[in-house]
Structure 1
Amino acid sequence: MNLESLIDRVLADPLREARSAGARGGRAVGYIGPDIPVELILAASAIPVRLCGTPAAPTPHAERYLEASFSPESRSIAEQWLTGGLDCFDSVIFSRSDDSAQRLYYYLCELQRRGRCGGPKPLLYDLARIKRALSLAHTIESTRRLAAALNVNEADLDGAVQRVKARLALLSRLTALRAGTPAPQGSLVHRIMRASHCDWSMEFDLALERWLAAPVNAGSTRRVLLVGSAPPDERLHCAVESADAAVVDELNDASAAPLASSLRPASALEEIAQRCYRTIGAIRSLLQSRQDICRRAHELRVQGVIVWLIAEDTGLAWEAPHLERALRDAGVPVLL
């Protein structure tokens, strides 16, 4: 199956593999956020699937319990949980680094305690966010606790680490292609990224490897950088493409790569913890650094930057006016 057909299949039914695993007597573990240690799920002989929302879908059951400050994605995931849509999962991992996700974890735990809902077992990955040695030590200990909760086979950790490294290397090659001219179609790249979170099969890696050997590039030479909240689908990319332009990169919490590290991990588990800790560090440093965003815009030779924010992203909203001013001062057109 070629890559685009595989992506169509995955995105049409992101939970397909999770349901199939349950039918075969296997396990599937869901997760929310970019900084969850997928290696632990693989080493627990389970299928990892990143949970996502369904844009514009009604959430009447979730609205009974969640305030308006929850992100649309968290509301949609809660709706799926409360209506039995996630019963195919053995457990779901929430990250404390995401405010909506960690609050949803506590709400679902309380609803289960009161017998108001069923569903999989909620697990919290207590990832520390402050850049200091104690935070890294805390994250390593949290990773150990999560490994125990998932019944990870330590003998399989090294293989899982290499599996995730191989996937990240393929996605890094895809990102590098976007720096060229012409670049791949932004909407297709976004679909590849979304599907990669829901399908950790070797079939997906092989299809992506073949596509990278002969990529299909967009015809447009006008280039746009997208900054802010992570779009739930490709509608924003398609709107840019309808104006004969292409999104050549996204700077948001779904696209950050781990920061480089000089630390030598003492074990595979510590290596996993360090990767997740560096990922959240990359997100925070990038979105809070106007200079780095301006530098990235110039590196990519973009003709403009779109700053796209959802109302619930209040932290990023405080940065938006300063970012807009910095981009204009740097001579980069910006649409906020």
Structure 2
Amino acid sequence: MSAALAQLLSHHTGGRGAHPGPVIGYVGADVPVEYLTAAGLLPVRLGGDPHTPSTTGDRYLGTGLDPAARSVLTRLLDGGHGPLDGVVVSRDCEASTRLFYALRELRRVEPSRALPPVHLVDVLHLPHRTTTRYVRAKLAQLRATAETWAGRTVDDTALAAAITAHDRLRELLARVADLRRARPARLSGTEMLTVVAATTALPVDRATQLLEQLLAEADGLPEHEGTRVFLTGSPHDTAHVYARIENMGFLIVGEDHDRGDLLYRRRTGTPTETALAERYQHNGPAAPRAAIRTRAEHTRRQAEECGADVLVGYARLRDDAPAWDYAAQAAATGLPSVFLSRQPYGGLDDGATEALAALRPAAPAEALR
């Protein structure tokens, strides 16, 4: 195995590692991590743990909310994320919003928990210049918060350098993603998802270095074959579902959630604050925010570019948005497809396993042309 790939696959999120400065946990792809990097803070994207009961989080959020958010809160309250110096939450969906308000209120009413300070960033995704001005104002608030946490000013030079660094990281992730789109693939979907997760918990320069090394070692990577899947629906903060699907003879070559392809496909370009606001404003299209027609066209285009043989929709329990899009996505792609609804967090129920098994024998798309 590639030495760089081994390091990326073995990296565990949630610790400060060798980073000398403050560590900031964040929730959601709408958090402009460039401000945290520019301030000398280490942004670490937070995730849940499907194998640990979310009892503590359920106490404050109830059981009617996305279990991934309840698991994140549980880990924050139980110390599962390690020491954090702050938390930034984006208003990307209802579950994230409720998570923020729960954290803010817990800091107020239960100071003995010593929870870190929390900041909400609200990025809207409407295609208007007035929206850009609104997003810029919200980003300015995050900039001020990052300066407070870091104890230093974020000047335009530092911000421009951070924007350039994160754009470079996204460019490299897109090139690494091409390794799993290749025929034969040089990365599995499970490996790709794990690599992406590692880059959201490492300093940007270290993540960039490892991706450059991985690309240099690509010719030595093993080959992967299988029925090629484009995966749509709920985001995946762990690789458990990917591994289950790929162990059945599938190969996940693309997805449309913000812990995979949607995280890095759009870059900022110009290293300015306005361009950064536009990057986050127009990022997507994510299931909770985008129109059905927009999602369907995106899925059609990306599935075609991936050379997908089949379309698999996956909707986690309490995550209703993916079901709104699926029929239009399936019609747009014209691929053999299956929708796995109300799935347990980080897993597949028996019905989903049977539905996937029935899809597996379908002839690959090349044979149908």
Answering whether residue 153 of structure 2 is matched by residue 157 of structure 1, we say no
Task: Tell me how many residue pairs correspond in the alignment.
Answer: 324
Residue type of the alignment partner of 1:307: G
In structure 2, what is the equivalent of residue 17 of structure 1? 16
Q: Offset at 1:253?
A: 2.7
Residue type of the alignment partner of 1:16: G
| Structure 1 residues 315 and 150: CA distance shift in structure 2, 3 A | same
Q: 2:34 aligns with which of 39, 42, 50?
A: 39
Q: For 1:150, what is the secondary structure of its paired residue? A: helix
Quick check: 2:230–2:254 contact (8 Å CA) kept in 1? yes
Matches within 5 A, 1:80-95: 80-86=75-81, 88-95=83-90
| Structure 1 residues 285 and 96: CA distance shift in structure 2, 3 A | closer
Aligned equivalents of 1:289, 1:85: Cα separation in 2: 34
Residue type of the alignment partner of 1:166: R
In structure 2, what is the equivalent of residue 169 of structure 1? 171
Q: Offset at 1:307?
A: 0.6
Q: For 1:48, what is the secondary structure of its paired residue? A: strand
What percentage of aligned pairs have identical amino acids?
24
Q: Which moved more, 1:202-211 or 1:119-128?
A: 202-211
Q: For 1:16, what is the secondary structure of its paired residue? A: coil
TM-score between both structures, scaled by the size of structure 1: 0.87
What per-residue deviation string (whole Å, max 9, x for no partner) do you get for residues 110-152 of structure 1?
Answer: 1211126431101000111322221111000100111011104
Q: Offset at 1:182?
A: 1.1
What per-residue deviation string (whole Å, max 9, x for no partner) do you get for residues 222-253 of structure 1?
Answer: 31111111223223322333233311111113
Q: 2:182 aligns with which of 180, 183, 191?
A: 180
Residue type of the alignment partner of 1:169: E
Q: Which runs of 5+ in 1 are unaligned?
A: none
Matches within 5 A, 1:1-336: 2-11=3-12, 14-17=13-16, 21=19, 24=20, 26-86=21-81, 88-115=83-110, 117-151=113-147, 152-154=153-155, 155-183=157-185, 184-215=187-218, 216-220=221-225, 222-255=227-260, 256=262, 257=264, 259=266, 268-281=272-285, 284-285=289-290, 288-327=294-333, 330=334, 332-336=335-339
Quick check: 1:96–1:125 contact (8 Å CA) kept in 2? yes
| Structure 1 residues 282 and 227: CA distance shift in structure 2, 3 A | closer
Q: Offset at 1:86?
A: 4.7
| Structure 1 residues 162 and 218: CA distance shift in structure 2, 3 A | same
What per-residue deviation string (whole Å, max 9, x for no partner) do you get for residues 32-65 of structure 1?
Answer: 1112111100111111111111112112211211
| Structure 1 residues 177 and 86: CA distance shift in structure 2, 3 A | closer
Aligned equivalents of 1:286, 1:196: Cα separation in 2: 29
Q: For 1:295, what is the secondary structure of its paired residue? A: helix
Aligned equivalents of 1:189, 1:272: Cα separation in 2: 26
Quick check: 2:169–2:207 contact (8 Å CA) kept in 1? no
Q: For 1:307, what is the secondary structure of its paired residue? A: strand
Moved over 6 A (4+): none
| Structure 1 residues 303 and 84: CA distance shift in structure 2, 3 A | closer
Q: Which moved more, 1:302-311 or 1:170-179?
A: 170-179
Aligned equivalents of 1:192, 1:108: Cα separation in 2: 29
Aligned equivalents of 1:286, 1:223: Cα separation in 2: 26
Q: For 1:73, what is the secondary structure of its paired residue? A: helix
What per-residue deviation string (whole Å, max 9, x for no partner) do you get for residues 285-305 of structure 1?
Answer: 487432332333233222211
Q: Which runs of 5+ in 2 are unaligned?
A: 148-152, 340-369
Supply the RMSD in Å over aligned alpha carbons.
Answer: 2.5
Residue type of the alignment partner of 1:7: L
TM-score between both structures, scaled by the size of structure 2: 0.80
Residue type of the alignment partner of 1:93: V
